[in-house]
Structure 1
Amino acid sequence: MSTGAERLRDVPVGIDATGTRTEHDSMGAIEVPADRYWGAQTQRSLRHFAIGERMPTALYRAYALVKKAAAEANAELGALPGWKVAAIVRAAEEAMAGALDDHFPLHVYQTGSGTQSNMNLNEVLAARANQLLGAEPGARAPIHPNDDVNRSQSSNDTFPAAMHVATLAALDEDLIPAIDALAGAIEAKAFAWMDIPKTGRTHLQDAVPLTVGQEWSGYAHQLSDALARVGASRGGLLELAAGGTAVGTGLAAPAGFGRAIAARIAAITGKPFVTAPNKFAAQASLDAMVATMAALRGLAVALMKIANDMRWLASGPRCGIGELLLPENEPGSSIMPGKVNPTQCEALVMVCIQTIGDDAAVAFAGSQGNFELNAMRPLIINNVLRTCRTMTEACTAFRRFSVEGTALNRARIDEQLGRSLMLVTALSPEIGYDRAAAIAHHAAEHGLTLREAATGYGGVDPATFDRLCDPAKLVGSGLAGA
């Protein structure tokens, strides 16, 4: 049986025209650039919503995938003839590959349902499909943007489906591998430094010792836990609203369309997408997106702790803590010669701060689902995709240009460990808390080492002190089963 593909012409992407052409929609005529595939509704949106940044390209590519799946589902259910499906699918595949990126100019701040972006895509795919079939790109036949490209669909059910597809791709293909690689680099440092004791710190004050590796193992585990929570949020993204059409009832879609389009999206992506069991919840809320963004905020919290610890531990190099030696990537000051700053740590902290702010906006937007529709979708997908992109880039740079090249200042670590007064904690079970506290205060007041104060003022036998206060014997493990 013919699929209709033989009708398609081998026409390169693009329109060789200048000036404008007249496009029409239900509100009348409007002039659009003659070399663009978009139509009247896109042009009206450009006129009225030139606000802020453009909608992420990644969303349009994911949305094109949804349109391809919709066309194939319509073919399966007899709602579109094969020759129309073939043209729509070819155009959608070109959009998925990025060949039509320049024809998606709309801004994030538009209608909250994403209708204008949906119509932008419908118009572009219809125009390109018509071109492939030998018609002029400005024609609305034989492929119509609403009747054919948007068949069995509404912006209300396909835009959230595209949000889920785009977000899951950003997580699986970019962010999760980047975080996993960073956690691995940190864990490698932890293993390498597991036997090197150092001064611990609580409340920003000296505390009992631990090893450098133990400290870094905490970073690695914290990051792995945060990454696991991001992974757990994927489940909600696998449920798709497509098939609910305008309000969740499926009006104007053939029976079984929701299951059919979800199956096609699963087949195209290789991910186990399913039709959402309750389309009313899927379209009136964006809870899965809110949960994913909350997991990204948790990741930002962990990353910020790690980055801040590293820049504090590297502070100095002579007048700070100075235990870590970070890679020197670029000059740090326009006025102070030789100054080098922890710039990768600072960049990551800024990304984390932005992520926490973006999460607050997503949570607020997620609360604005009124009746059968949440109309804050463009803001949510923009914030989520921006977070995935910037966090991927920041963590990759942080790993390559900071973590992997970080070294230890062993002399500084040993010096500070030798000056620590909190080793007195090991004496407390032997001589009592009050006597141990008096020794620590005496050492601090008179500028003595703990050993000098304990063996002199405290009357502790030197051999007993050395036996009880050996840092290497005080670090324990802190690791289950170790």
Structure 2
Amino acid sequence: MAINTNFRVEKDLLGEKKISSNAYYGINTARALDNFNVSSKKVNLHLIKAIVTIKKSAAITHKKLKELSPEKADAIIKACDKILKDEFNSEFVVDALQGGAGTSTNMNVNEVIANVAIELLGGEKGDYSLVHPLHHVNMSQSTNDVYPTAIRIAAIKLLRPLSLAFANLQEALQIKENEFADVLKLGRTQLMDALPMMAGQGFGAYARAISRDRWRLYKVEERLREVNIGGTAIGTGMNATLKYIFLMTDILQDLTGLGLARSDYPMDTTQNMDVFVEVSGLLKSASVNLIKISNDIRLLGSGPRGGIGELSLPKVQAGSSIMAGKVNPVIAEMAAQTSMKVISNDAAITYAAASGQLELNAFGPLIAESLLESLEILTNAVNIFTEKCINGLEVNEGNCSHNLEASTSVVTALVHHIGYDKASEIAKKSLRENKTIKELCLEEGILTPEKLNEILNPYEITKPGIPGMKEGKK
């Protein structure tokens, strides 16, 4: 009788299940595939690699403590190294949205590591007498201490390039602040003409907002460094020795290069997810600033004839399939849309963190998926926005000058010299007769040309003080 070699049979407490003979995952993963066919998104690979690193650290720890044979430990360590080199990415197949507080993801990792290790020992996949996913790979661990620790490791590693991306954006905005420092333009409040300003001042304000985001993102890493590894199922540490708990964390620090610290109260770190809400909240705050800046740039760059047209955005692609010659502000739109996605992810993280019950939060997978996605896409969006929009921005001095001269904004500079009522009268007449404020003042002899030039000096009307009046004099 011919033997079917296309699959192997694995058993668990629910019974038997056929697994493809080519698969490195096992029965727990196969059941998760049946149960959680929700989306087209698999578990974030950054999270997978963080879990693999934890498994490697555990194997090294157990080898040092002589709790695992050197042969098995070395096979697990080598298997982890191969996985970390992206050799088995396709084996991590569980849907990102899953029940079980991340157990399916943890078991997917345990099974792949075990089967890779089995082959390294000369065995065949599924022969768990050589290396067992639970007894050996998951030794002294629970999903409930592995998964939150892995989220923290993955988040820190994604947070650092995001902080750098915001630092680069801040620098790019500061360059524009200096580049446009001498360009006088119209400032606006509530979309209406307000006061004169230097174009560079606007970019300086953007840079200050982004600098706050950069600093907050840089500092929040500290909140993620406290890990509950060794706390096992509910934070009490049952089935994990004190020697393992302390050595495990030290080795994990070495493997990740991160300043991880053992939680002094693992039960808290196991069940409470507020730290992820805090991090996500800062991503939301940064996204708010990014939307504001990108929308301002789109507005100031509108036109080229029918809009404000004070900025020229880099042209990166044709804008329409029907309107020939149209170019749209697509990079700024991308930055805003990405930010909107981050804000929506923050709502999911907030609700998931609030929904934990008693000694465990079952909604860690949604938190992990949403937070890691936000970190990744925001980093990419900020880098693209900096490179393909901010760096290539140009100011249209002619349009800035025209819009300023056509407005009545400079009349505010005259209030302390001619009074509010007279200034209002001049402003109304300027709009009615389509003349500039300066022209009317000269026509009516309200002020001398010399005094007008002194009051309306660009460097006087764009800084603190009363234009045309020295400090201490009236």
Q: Name the TM tier (shorter chain).
A: over 0.9
In the alignment, does 2:33 pair up with 1:46? yes
Offset, 1:477: 7.5
Structure 2 residue matching 1:29: 3-state secondary structure: strand
In the alignment, does 2:463 pair up with 1:476? yes
Offset, 1:79: 2.3
Determine if contact 1:77/1:254 at 8 Å carries over to the other structure: no
Letter in structure 2 aligned against 1:103: E
**Structure 2 counterparts to residues 213-252 of structure 1, below 5 A:** 213-252=200-239
The worse-fitting range, judged by mean Cα deviation, of 130-139 and 153-162 is: 130-139
Cα deviations across residues 356-410 of structure 1 (Å, max 9, x unaligned)?
1110110111111210001111111111111112112212221221111111111
Offset, 1:457: 4.9
Which residue of 1 is the match for residue 174 of structure 2? 187
Which residue of 1 is the match for residue 110 of structure 2? 122
The worse-fitting range, judged by mean Cα deviation, of 175-184 and 279-288 is: 175-184
In the alignment, the residues of structure 2 paired with residue 477 and residue 404 of structure 1 have an alpha-carbon distance, to the nearest angstrom, of 30
Q: Which of 279, 282, 295 is 1:295 aligned to?
A: 282
Determine if contact 2:21/2:125 at 8 Å carries over to the other structure: no
In the alignment, the residues of structure 2 paired with residue 321 and residue 261 of structure 1 have an alpha-carbon distance, to the nearest angstrom, of 60
Which residue of 2 is the match for residue 4 of structure 1? none
Structure 1 residue matching 2:16: 3-state secondary structure: strand
In the alignment, does 2:345 pair up with 1:358? yes
Determine if contact 1:112/1:374 at 8 Å carries over to the other structure: no
In the alignment, the residues of structure 2 paired with residue 177 and residue 227 of structure 1 have an alpha-carbon distance, to the nearest angstrom, of 8
Structure 2 residue matching 1:79: 3-state secondary structure: coil
In the alignment, the residues of structure 2 paired with residue 388 and residue 222 of structure 1 have an alpha-carbon distance, to the nearest angstrom, of 19
In the alignment, the residues of structure 1 paired with residue 9 and residue 190 of structure 2 have an alpha-carbon distance, to the nearest angstrom, of 69
Which residue of 2 is the match for residue 137 of structure 1? 125
**Structure 2 counterparts to residues 145-224 of structure 1, below 5 A:** 145-172=133-160, 174-224=161-211
Which residue of 2 is the match for residue 387 of structure 1? 374
Which residue of 1 is the match for residue 451 of structure 2? 464
Which residue of 1 is the match for residue 89 of structure 2? 101
Q: Residues 429 and 256 from structure 1, CA distance in 2 versus in 1: closer, same or farther, beyond 3 angstroms?
A: farther
Cα deviations across residues 183-241 of structure 1 (Å, max 9, x unaligned)?
22121111222222211111111111121111101111111101211122211111111
**Structure 2 counterparts to residues 421-436 of structure 1, below 5 A:** 421-436=408-423
In the alignment, does 2:23 pair up with 1:20? no
Q: Residues 435 and 458 from structure 1, CA distance in 2 versus in 1: closer, same or farther, beyond 3 angstroms?
A: farther
Which residue of 2 is the match for residue 325 of structure 1? 312
In the alignment, the residues of structure 2 paired with residue 132 and residue 87 of structure 1 have an alpha-carbon distance, to the nearest angstrom, of 6
TM-score w.r.t. length of structure 2? 0.94
In the alignment, the residues of structure 1 paired with residue 367 and residue 182 of structure 2 have an alpha-carbon distance, to the nearest angstrom, of 46
Which residue of 2 is the match for residue 80 of structure 1? 68
Q: Which of 230, 238, 259 is 1:272 aligned to?
A: 259
Structure 2 unaligned residues grouped into runs of 5+: 466-474
In the alignment, the residues of structure 1 paired with residue 173 and residue 118 of structure 2 have an alpha-carbon distance, to the nearest angstrom, of 53
Determine if contact 1:233/1:288 at 8 Å carries over to the other structure: no
In the alignment, does 2:70 pair up with 1:70? no
Offset, 1:22: 0.9
Structure 1 residue matching 2:166: 3-state secondary structure: helix
Q: Residues 458 and 155 from structure 1, CA distance in 2 versus in 1: closer, same or farther, beyond 3 angstroms?
A: farther
Structure 2 residue matching 1:472: 3-state secondary structure: coil
Determine if contact 1:168/1:234 at 8 Å carries over to the other structure: yes
In the alignment, the residues of structure 2 paired with residue 259 and residue 410 of structure 1 have an alpha-carbon distance, to the nearest angstrom, of 64
The worse-fitting range, judged by mean Cα deviation, of 186-195 and 308-317 is: 186-195
Offset, 1:412: 0.7
Q: Which of 383, 400, 407 is 1:396 aligned to?
A: 383
Cα deviations across residues 274-313 of structure 1 (Å, max 9, x unaligned)?
1112111101111221111111111101111111111101
In the alignment, the residues of structure 2 paired with residue 327 and residue 217 of structure 1 have an alpha-carbon distance, to the nearest angstrom, of 20
Determine if contact 1:423/1:471 at 8 Å carries over to the other structure: no
Offset, 1:316: 0.5
Letter in structure 2 aligned against 1:46: L
Which residue of 2 is the match for residue 59 of structure 1? 47
In the alignment, the residues of structure 1 paired with residue 32 and residue 445 of structure 2 have an alpha-carbon distance, to the nearest angstrom, of 80
In the alignment, the residues of structure 2 paired with residue 87 and residue 70 of structure 1 have an alpha-carbon distance, to the nearest angstrom, of 13
In the alignment, the residues of structure 1 paired with residue 231 and residue 433 of structure 2 have an alpha-carbon distance, to the nearest angstrom, of 77
Letter in structure 2 aligned against 1:193: F
Offset, 1:456: 3.3
Which residue of 1 is the match for residue 247 of structure 2? 260
Structure 2 residue matching 1:374: 3-state secondary structure: coil
Structure 1 residue matching 2:460: 3-state secondary structure: helix
In the alignment, the residues of structure 2 paired with residue 358 and residue 462 of structure 1 have an alpha-carbon distance, to the nearest angstrom, of 59
Q: Residues 333 and 233 from structure 1, CA distance in 2 versus in 1: closer, same or farther, beyond 3 angstroms?
A: same
Structure 2 residue matching 1:380: 3-state secondary structure: helix
TM-score w.r.t. length of structure 1? 0.93
Offset, 1:438: 1.8
Structure 2 residue matching 1:370: 3-state secondary structure: coil
Offset, 1:447: 1.6
Determine if contact 2:227/2:263 at 8 Å carries over to the other structure: yes
Determine if contact 2:166/2:213 at 8 Å carries over to the other structure: no
Cα deviations across residues 64-115 of structure 1 (Å, max 9, x unaligned)?
0111111122223332222221111111112222111111000012124100
In the alignment, the residues of structure 1 paired with residue 307 and residue 422 of structure 2 have an alpha-carbon distance, to the nearest angstrom, of 31
Cα deviations across residues 20-58 of structure 1 (Å, max 9, x unaligned)?
211122222101111111111000110111111211111
Which residue of 1 is the match for residue 426 of structure 2? 439
Letter in structure 2 aligned against 1:104: F
Letter in structure 2 aligned against 1:369: G
Offset, 1:442: 1.8
Structure 1 unaligned residues grouped into runs of 5+: 1-16
Q: Residues 295 and 254 from structure 1, CA distance in 2 versus in 1: closer, same or farther, beyond 3 angstroms?
A: same
In the alignment, the residues of structure 2 paired with residue 33 and residue 457 of structure 1 have an alpha-carbon distance, to the nearest angstrom, of 93
